[in-house]
A and B are shown apart, each in its own frame.
Chain A
Amino acid sequence: MKMYEQLPHTADIKIRVYGANKKELFKHALIGMFQVIGPHADGCKRVDGQLVCDALPIQHVVAIQSPDSEALLVDFLSEALWYSDVYNQAFLDAAINTLTETSIEAIIKGVQVSGFDVVEIKAVTYHDLAIKEVDGMWQTDIVFDI
């Protein structure tokens, strides 16, 4: 099963994320957000366009409450983006301890980066964002402002 795929968008970046359950959907959204902009990190290698690292030594605890699932996903990804922008980090995995409709507690795991292939993500938007179950799989589209 693929974690995410990039969809066409004239000006920004749009991905479709998949997960067997909502926890996995949130984790794959995090991974997709960073993999799609091609992070550069010492000691990691690119395999099929994806950054693969033996270890993800940087960890942050993220605990968020939001009005609903979509807002929670935007807020979760925005928090990871904040860490990335302030500390030059990219997050390629997460341990999601609890996830409800309105709250998440997770540890995001990543590496220090020297930059990204081309663009920086400015923000996570609500445009086209709708978390839904399709044929037993969870999915959503996410548009990132770049």
Chain B
Amino acid sequence: MDKLIRMEDLLALSEWCYEIPQSFRSDMRVPARFFMSRKMFEDISEDRSLEQLVNVATLPGIQKAAFAMPDMHQGYGFPIGGVAGMAIDHGGVISPGGIGYDINCGVRLLVANATYDELKPFMEDIATRLFDAVPSGVGRGGRLKLGLDELDHVLQYGAKRMLELGFGTQEDLDRCENDGSFAVAQPDLVSKHAKQRGADQLGTLGSGNHFLEVQMVDEIYDEKVAETFGLHKGLIAVMIHCGSRGLGHQTCTDYVRVMNAAMHKWDYQLPDRELVCAPFLSQEAQDYYGAMAAAANFAWANRHMIAVWAREAFAQAAGAHVQLNMVYDVSHNIGKVETHEINGKQTRMIMHRKGATRSFGPGREEVSAVYRDVGQPVLIPGTMGTSSYVLVGTQESMDVAFGSCCHGAGRRLSRTKAKKLVRGAELRKELEAHNIIVRCDSDKGLAEEAPLAYKDVDSVVNVVQQAGLARKVARLRPMAVIKGG
């Protein structure tokens, strides 16, 4: 199974797209296709992401190709940046590990009605208040303690429930993927174990690569679309990156276990047990899908509450006239039923995106009504020292990789390696020398997430645009970084 992938095995479909043909390994059902510039090959030369992508290409019911986005790197089961669509009515499977443990980890972007120049005198205070208002790091519970009954409402209705409880605005829902609420959620299929893990974690960032960042819009590439998204040069923005916390982690763990126990029902030969899966129409898969949707709702409610507290922090520091308006919220670890054209036929698919977001173009009914004419916003965070980007989904992106795009810059160095190369205290000084305020109580945590641990986000976004996965709209520059440690 562990056949070595060599450069000569790759077919260049274009300057930005490469393919490992189906003939590479006998168990592949489709080719494995990835988007990258040749210069970026070095970033994945020492990891096993391509082997993992080939493994994805063996899954039952997979259509067209197993795709990996330009931020691809080694994960478990799927590579990070992996996208796979399985035809539901042709034995297509759903794989919990192919969606990931942090169900509906995602990114939310808010934009202020004030510029950096206007808010500059308050930035230190804003950063401190954000750090205090939003619990981050390991073991810090949230400000909301939910009873199990109320938690069930959150799992059923997601961010919509938080609005009912008086938090946030209708616009927060209108500008969120799925309106912040996955209708197929079944809270009763989420275990008590999972609910206990999540009970005090609503409104918390967590640790690792999760962050809260204050940014400034510093470049506009598409004036018309930027206007629709509410982005203007000089405005302050807030980016939130986190997921479903322990509740999602446990839900995935639970259903990997369920599917492992049921695997004997289907004669699947899987190259990696982490790809354990079940036909989407089976009871096991339907149960997982309902539970996954409930965990996704928890993640939307989580980012919704963090946004609410970010607004409070801004108002307290700079005055109540400063508002943070929702731009969009994208999911990047999720499974969704979507219809895509396969060989000229509209085909119902269960799409897996793991470390990848949707980038749907204009006209798709899944895109929030306010953006349906232009396409959905695609949010690509960079690192604490580099730019982040807002892009827009296009019709071309629908054709290239089922309307999918990358979810970030993508790691290139392990945390251990990053810590060997970077001292957190020095990085903090370096960021501050570039007028980036840092609020993180762990130097080790900073070092692990240092910019050099990631691929060059400008190159990644360039590939995204050249490959037709999405089109650039605006660039954001970090001004304050708030991280757990």
Contacts and interface: CB of A to CB of B under 8 A. Distances in A.
Nearest to A129: B273
A120 B208 contact: yes
B250 interface: yes
Interface residues of B, number: 48
A74 B252 CA distance: 13
Given A10-B411, A118-B207, A126-B97, A71 B260 contact: yes
Contacts of B412: 10
A35 B124 CA distance: 36
Interface in A100-115: 113-115
A88 B139 contact: yes
Contacts of B415: 13, 118-119
A62 to B, nearest CB: 13
Contact of A126 (B256, B448, B485): B256
* Main secondary structure on B side of the interface with A: mixed
Nearest to B248: A122
A145 B76 contact: yes
Contacts of B137: 115
Given A115-B139, A127-B77, A122 B102 contact: yes
B76 A119 contact: no
A66 to B, nearest CB: 8
A118 B101 contact: no
Contact of B77 (A6, A85, A125): A125
B442 interface: yes
A125 B417 CA distance: 22
Contact of B196 (A74, A78, A86): A86
A11 B139 contact: no
B257 A126 contact: no
Contacts of B273: 70, 126-127, 129
Nearest to A9: B414
Contacts of A78: 253, 257
B165 interface: no
Contact of B74 (A10, A82, A86): A10
B442 A118 contact: yes
A75 B257 CA distance: 8
Interface in A69-109: 70-71, 74-75, 78, 82, 85-86, 88
A124 B139 CA distance: 18
Given A82-B193, A127-B272, A143 B76 contact: yes
Contacts of B80: 11
B248 to A, nearest CB: 8
For B46, B97, B208, B413, which residue has the most chain A Cβ atoms within 10 angstroms? B208
Nearest to B191: A82
A117 interface: yes
B246 interface: yes
Contacts of B76: 12, 125-128, 143, 145
B276 interface: yes
B138 interface: yes
Contacts of A43: none
Interface string B75-103: 11100100000000000000001001110
B73 interface: yes
A146 interface: yes
A8 B416 contact: yes
Nearest to B449: A118
A123 interface: yes
Given A86-B196, A125-B76, A67 B274 contact: no
A138 interface: no
B261 interface: yes
A70 B272 CA distance: 13
A145 B354 CA distance: 13
A124 B414 contact: no
B207 A120 contact: yes
Contacts of A13: 415
Contact of A9 (B74, B140, B193): B74
Contacts of A85: 197, 246, 249-250
B73, B139, B444, most chain A CB atoms within 10 A:
B139
Given A118-B442, A122-B102, A145-B249, 18 more contacts: A8-B416, A8-B417, A9-B74, A10-B414, A86-B196, A115-B137, A118-B208, A118-B485, A119-B207, A119-B448, A125-B76, A125-B101, A125-B274, A126-B260, A126-B273, A126-B276, A127-B273, A129-B273
23 contacts: A9-B74, A11-B73, A11-B411, A70-B273, A71-B260, A74-B257, A88-B139, A115-B137, A118-B415, A118-B442, A118-B444, A119-B207, A120-B138, A122-B102, A122-B249, A125-B76, A125-B274, A126-B97, A126-B260, A126-B272, A127-B77, A145-B76, A145-B102
Nearest 3 Cβ contacts at the A-B interface: A127-B76, A126-B273, A123-B101
Interface of B: 46-47, 49, 73-77, 80, 97, 100-102, 137-140, 193, 196-197, 206-208, 246, 249-250, 252-253, 256-257, 260-261, 272-274, 276, 411-417, 442, 444-445, 448, 485
